[in-house]
Homo-oligomer: A and B are copies of this chain.
Amino acid sequence: MANHVYKSIELTGSSQTSIEDAVNNAINRAAKTVRNMRWFVITETRGHIDEGKVNHWQVTLKVGFTLED
């Protein structure tokens, strides 16, 4: 583990149900093209309001993945 180099990217996922679901949506989408994802950290939690109610959650996260040798 000590020899790995990681790269991190910033993503924003959305969900109409919860913060956790928005994170999952971002990671699921990223998994289509990024391999070896290891960790994430949430950097912002926002959302849109429509007709006086939360319409959807928007969660921004940094995702780190191992660069293969």
Contacts and interface: CB of A to CB of B under 8 A. Distances in A.
Interface residues of A, number: 52
Q: How many copies does the complex hold?
A: 12
A10 B8 contact: yes
30 contacts: A1-B56, A2-B55, A5-B11, A5-B12, A5-B13, A5-B29, A5-B30, A6-B11, A6-B12, A7-B9, A7-B11, A8-B10, A8-B12, A9-B10, A10-B62, A11-B67, A20-B54, A20-B57, A23-B54, A27-B49, A27-B52, A28-B52, A30-B52, A31-B52, A38-B49, A39-B47, A39-B49, A40-B54, A41-B44, A41-B47
Interface of A: 1-16, 18-20, 23-31, 37-42, 44-49, 52-57, 60, 62-64, 67, 69
